[in-house]
Amino acid sequence: MDSAGAVRRGRARPAHGAGAGGQDYESGGVAPTLWATEYPADPAVARLVDSLRAPHRARLEEVIATATGRIGRHYKSASPFDQLAGELLREATGAEPGLPARRGLRRIIGARPHHPRNALHPAAAPSKVVMLELTGAQVLQLLEQTATNQNPSNDLARVGGLLQTSGLDWSANLNRPTGQRVDGVQVNGKPLDRQRRYRVVTHNGMLSGIHRYATFAQGQHIQKLSQGVTEVVEAGLRRRGSISPPVMARVLVVPAK
């Protein structure tokens, strides 16, 4: 998202060669920021990037939506960007909870007008949308796995950020024993029913079991859609036109002491 608030399709480019400028990733409760102005552009790389972008400039600079406020991203807590992406995926598919995680999309950052190149861009391995049915017990297993990933008994087993969810309220206390850390789970405002089957939207990376989320592959009625996550989210942004920061789900994670 640029300084005018326009949501664009491509990758944010604060400056040539600056890959992480302004991203809102968390690290031990602190969100480090790398400013593009501190990393001068390499002239040869700058010319190469400009030459590669030139044929696609009109599409990259097309405004696809306008944001009314900054939509940031967090790694170890509920993330506004991922909440928004989850909402759009659920709207498009009719899913109840969404567990899109973060593979397939990077970020929307900023406020006011926004263009594709600044806000929304595909990951190195674009992810496809997957629909499946999971029992409430399986949803709980996935939440327990994300709690384990944040504070495993063996620190070398720590992997990934918090599993980002949509339509789910829940809490986790990382000081509790493994497998007993998650409680208070609600699906769209109603208590999780462990016996009920829920229609869930995610992506093929999660289905493959990345970050030890093997439970996805145990779901039923698995549908691998042809649409990419980026495509669906971009279509949702266009449909809305004006984007407000999402109403955040109640997700509370008590860190390990």
Higher pLDDT pick, 120 / 185: 185
- Length of the chain in terms of residues written: 257
Give the pLDDT band (50/70/90) at residue 149: very high
Phi, psi (rounded to 5 degrees) for 142: -65, -40
CA 175 to each of CA 166, 171, 205, 254: distance values in angstroms, whole numbers, following the listed order: 24, 12, 29, 8
Pairing of strands 65-67, 242-243: parallel
pLDDT in tens, 163-219: 999 999 999 999 999 999 999 999 999 999 999 999 999 999 999 999 999 999 999
CB 220 within 8 A of CB 138: no
Q: What is the pLDDT of residue 98?
A: 86
* N-terminal to C-terminal alpha carbon distance within the chain: 37
* Sequence-ordered list of residues with C-beta below 8 angstroms from that of 194, at least 6 positions apart, any chain: 135, 136, 137, 140
Q: What is the pLDDT of residue 4?
A: 55
pTM: 0.77
Mean pLDDT value of segment 31-42:
75
Give the pLDDT band (50/70/90) at residue 129: very high
The domain spans of the chain are 5-254
Q: Domain spanning 5-254 has what CATH number?
A: 3.90.780.10
